[in-house]
């Protein structure tokens, strides 16, 4: 240990904020993951449901649309995050992802799935 690190005191207020921010960031990431992974989990049920006439090729296209939105969103939201602040971008993205996931759950046509998958990817 150097003499500088021996003389430094831990700031408990700073440490508390570090843990809070880490926890909030982890929960936000888990929330994004759970809302965005829902279609991958639901594909098995969708393929077995006769009320939703969707082939595996169409579900693959929806996955592709999601990934295109995800790739574009990485650039767009990275730039906007620098300009508007990460808090606004993360909260807005989480809210939009929840709404798009819910909308996918109540829709039964391919076009709606594609649009909401694109929005979720962004």
pLDDT in tens, 37-69: 777 888 888 888 877 778 888 888 888 888 899
Provide the pLDDT confidence category of residue 2 given band limits of 50, 70 and 90.
Answer: low
The mean pLDDT of the chain is 83
Separation CA 35–CA 44 (nearest Å): 17
The H or E element containing residue 56 is helix 56-84
Separation CA 46–CA 24 (nearest Å): 33
Amino acid 35: pLDDT: 80
Domain boundaries, the chain: 10-121
User: Is the confidence at residue 117, as pLDDT, over 60?
Assistant: yes
Question: Sign of the CA dihedral 71, 74, 77, 78?
Answer: negative
User: Is the confidence at residue 5, as pLDDT, over 80?
Assistant: no
């Amino acid at each position: 240990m150097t003499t500088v690190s021996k003389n430094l005191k831990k700031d408990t207020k700073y440490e508390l904020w570090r843990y809070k921010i880490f926890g909030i960031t982890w929960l936000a990431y888990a929330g994004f993951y759970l809302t965005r992974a829902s279609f991958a989990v639901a594909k098995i049920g969708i393929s077995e449901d006769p009320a939703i006439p969707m082939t595996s090729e169409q579900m693959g296209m929806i996955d592709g649309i999601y990934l295109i939105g995800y790739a574009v969103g990485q650039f767009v939201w990275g730039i906007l995050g620098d300009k508007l602040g990460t808090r606004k971008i993360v909260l807005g993205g989480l809210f939009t992802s929840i709404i798009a996931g819910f909308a996918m759950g109540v829709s039964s046509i391919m076009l709606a799935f594609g649009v909401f998958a694109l929005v979720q990817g962004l």
